[in-house]
């Protein structure tokens, strides 16, 4: 029986349609099916024509550690060759000088401090409509794999965003006809590679030589590092570690060549942030944020590359730009809300005038609220925690013998002005450096009248960026758990009722140390808004003995009614009082965040009172 007869028989059964209406309906359905097949075919053709993208990521090495960036003592032939075949970016930056926060920025295309993920290893929730950029690549037909570090620093199943995220993930598993996006992450150069057990293991298994390739005496140390045998040994050992990392990078790129896929693959190499010796990782200076970045296009796509093979680009770029850039290279529309600017591909945008940098809590002991901007040459830093030194007293970094030797000298009073600078209290509220003339950033130009105009311009750019993105760092982290139980920190700060401009202005006033502002600070501690009260207390803390008139008001905030009996029963120093509240009776304060509790446990005599205030919200 013909199809026409079948249709006719169906209509005779008194369907919902007349015969002619049903014929018209089936004609339209056939047309829809045909269009779907055609579109599917076109999508397959487009997918086959789109480039593969491979990101090769090393860890903790600043740009100055590599041969192609001018280091004459290191052996990095594979990365140097990639630079000779590609474009080397002179001014590439990790927006934050620590891994999880940097990766949170990278995977979302938004500054971590705009979505409440600026504190290291925190895992607070973010709005559901803020998705990792690989989600959009997968929707467009890309096979996306990650090998294998995630560490995205917000509440999510990191691996769920990939087709595969594991030590076995590989672009070789890509289905036929699909382009791939792959991230291969080397952990060889991580800061832990300089821990004693790791160094011994690396020498034992032949990854690095028994004796460093370079003579420790041949090293010219930066002026902010003391000249100790331990630091010299760490320096030359790291040169060999980088050589091992470079070999792994070379092996990964060779796999592309062996598979015949290099001619359709764009390779981007970068480090996840700076490092690795003291005053690098966790510091917002060039040593902590200025990373190597190389982009290598295959010959058939060379006409779309940002420059000729072996050239350099002076365009400032940063991690917030990588998500929109990956989408742009894949021909995928960039979602509204991404804060970075694509610097490659069909959606390439004009560079921002400044790269925005930020730091907040680095591990439990390192609480430093800093923001910065750089144009590649000058760097402006705004310190919202000038009452806290920026040294590291103990913990993870001290597994490096170099760090321990530095701390021992500082404790003994045997460091010079440049080496002591970041241990001092108070710290400068503003810093300005010319990184071309002063690459190690030891000469602060903030007080130089010759740079007053530049200081003003870069200060304004910093505050404008904070306002534009509604920087969540102004909200103390001790409030985050409670906020997150009802929503997200992002939503809290973006609520129209949140007085963002007033809070930022108050934070600036609190940190500038002006005694004339004390009445304003005392008044704002009576505010109904907890964040306003917080910055009022910070301002009084910064002013120290000059804020003695606010002591009773501060105590009324620190010691709430439920703590008064405990306070009276334990007359003690500030440090002991904090321990009594947080450590001896932990059940009294179940909502205190791990970071605050850990800091109190390790109280070193310099803990500022506002931490207790933070815990009260």
Q: Which residues are catalytic?
A: 99
Report the alpha-carbon distance of residue 215 to residue 194 in Å, rounded.
Answer: 17
- Are the beta carbons of 401 and 234 closer than 8 angstroms? yes
Task: Fill in the DSSP letter of residue 278.
Answer: S
Q: Is the peptide bond before 407 cis (omega within 30 degrees of 0)?
A: no
Nearest residue to 181 (alpha-carbon basis) of 107, 292, 128, 112:
107
How many whole angstroms separate alpha carbon 296 and alpha carbon 453? Answer: 39
* Residue 613 Cα distances to 131, 479, 554, 603, angstroms: 34, 10, 9, 16
Name the nearest CA neighbour of 115 among 106, 107, 126, 123. 126
Q: Are 554 and 534 in contact (CB under 8 A)?
A: no
The residue count of the chain comes to 617
Establish whether the linkage from the previous residue to 200 is cis, with ω within 30° of 0.
Answer: no
Structure tokens at 23: 């014929």
Which position has the token pair 């200025």? 290
How far apart, in whole angstroms, are the C-alpha atoms of residue 489 and residue 531? 13
593 token code pair: 């965040």
Q: How many CB atoms lie within 10 A of CB 256?
A: 19
CA 29 distance to own-chain centroid: 50
Ordered DSSP codes for 479-544: GHHHHHTTS-HHHHHHSTTS-HHHHHHHHHHHHS--GGGHHHHHHHTT-SSHHHHHHHHHHHHHHG
Distance between CA atoms of 341 and 350, rounded to whole angstroms? 7
As a whole number of angstroms, the distance between CA 35 and CA 37 comes to 5
β partners of residue 106? none
Q: Give CA–CA dist 47/467, Å, rounded.
A: 40
| CB burial readout 499-519, b (16+ within 10 A) else e | ebeebbebbbbbbebeeebbe
The tokens describing 212, both together, are: 């460093």
Tell me how far apart the alpha carbons of residues 271 and 59 are, in angstroms, rounded to a whole number.
5
The CA distance from 493 to 312, in Å, is: 40
Yes or no: say if 107 and 323 are a contact pair by the CB < 8 Å rule.
Answer: yes
Classify the C-alpha dihedral 149-154-160-161 as positive or negative.
Answer: negative
Exposure b/e, 67-76, CB count within 10 A at least 16 = b: bbbebebbbb
Question: Which tokens go with 532?
Answer: 């306003």
């Amino acid at each position: 029986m013909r199809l026409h007869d079948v249709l006719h028989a169906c209509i005779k059964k008194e369907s919902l349609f007349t015969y002619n209406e049903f014929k018209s309906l089936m004609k339209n359905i056939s047309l829809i099916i045909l269009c779907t097949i055609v579109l599917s075919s076109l999508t397959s053709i487009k997918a086959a024509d789109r480039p593969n993208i491979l990101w090769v990521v090393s860890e903790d090495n600043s740009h100055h550690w590599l041969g192609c960036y001018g280091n004459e003592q290191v052996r990095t032939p594979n990365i140097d060759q990639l630079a000779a075949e590609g474009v080397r970016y002179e001014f590439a930056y990790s927006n934050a000088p620590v891994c999880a926060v940097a990766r949170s920025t990278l995977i979302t295309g938004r500054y971590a401090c705009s979505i409440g993920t600026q504190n290291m290893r925190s895992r607070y929730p973010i709005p559901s409509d803020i998705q990792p950029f690989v989600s959009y690549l997968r929707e467009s037909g890309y096979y996306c794999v990650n090998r294998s570090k995630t560490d995205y620093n917000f509440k999510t199943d990191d691996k769920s965003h990939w087709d595969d995220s594991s030590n076995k993930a590989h672009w070789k598993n890509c289905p036929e006809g699909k382009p791939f996006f792959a991230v291969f992450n080397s952990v060889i150069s991580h800061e832990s590679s300089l821990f004693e057990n790791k160094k011994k293991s690396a020498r034992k298994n032949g990854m690095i030589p028994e004796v460093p390739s370079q003579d420790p005496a041949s090293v010219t140390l930066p002026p902010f590092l003391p000249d100790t045998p331990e630091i010299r040994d760490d320096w030359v050992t790291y040169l060999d570690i980088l050589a091992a990392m470079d070999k792994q990078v070379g092996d990964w790129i060779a796999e592309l060549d062996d598979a015949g896929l290099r001619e359709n693959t764009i390779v981007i190499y970068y480090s996840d942030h700076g490092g690795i010796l003291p005053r690098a990782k966790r510091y917002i200076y060039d040593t902590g944020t200025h990373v190597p970045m190389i982009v290598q296009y295959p010959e058939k796509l060379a006409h779309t590359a940002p420059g000729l093979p072996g050239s350099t680009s002076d365009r400032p770029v940063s991690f917030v730009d990588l998500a929109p850039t990956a989408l742009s290279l894949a021909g995928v529309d960039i979602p509204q809300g991404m804060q970075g600017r694509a610097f490659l591909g069909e959606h390439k945008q004009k560079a921002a005038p400044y790269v925005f940098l930020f730091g907040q809590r680095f591990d439990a002991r390192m609480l430093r609220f800093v923001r910065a901007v750089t144009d590649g040459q000058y760097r402006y830093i705004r310190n919202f925690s000038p009452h806290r030194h920026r040294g590291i007293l103990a913990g993870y970094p001290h597994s490096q013998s170099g760090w321990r030797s530095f701390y021992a000298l500082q404790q003994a009073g045997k460091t010079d002005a440049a080496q002591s600078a970041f241990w001092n209290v108070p710290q400068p509220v503003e810093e300005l450096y010319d990184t071309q003339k002063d690459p190690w950033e030891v000469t602060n130009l903030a007080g130089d009248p010759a740079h007053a105009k530049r200081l003003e311009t870069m200060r304004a750019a910093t505050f404008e960026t904070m306002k534009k993105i509604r920087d969540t760092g102004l909200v103390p982290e001790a409030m985050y758990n409670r906020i997150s139980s009802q929503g997200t920190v992002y939503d809290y700060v973006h609520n129209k009722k949140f007085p963002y401009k007033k809070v930022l202005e108050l934070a600036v006033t609190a940190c500038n140390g002006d005694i004339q502002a004390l009445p304003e600070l005392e008044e704002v501690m009576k505010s109904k808004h907890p964040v306003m009260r917080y910055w009022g207390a910070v301002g009084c803390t910064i002013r120290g003995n000059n804020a003695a008139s606010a002591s009773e008001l501060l105590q009324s905030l620190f010691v709430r009614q439920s703590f008064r009996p405990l306070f009276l029963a334990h007359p003690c120093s500030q440090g002991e009082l904090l321990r009594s509240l947080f450590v001896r009776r932990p059940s009294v304060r179940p909502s205190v965040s791990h970071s605050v509790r850990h800091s109190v446990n390790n109280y070193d005599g310099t803990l500022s009172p506002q931490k207790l205030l933070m815990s009260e919200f």
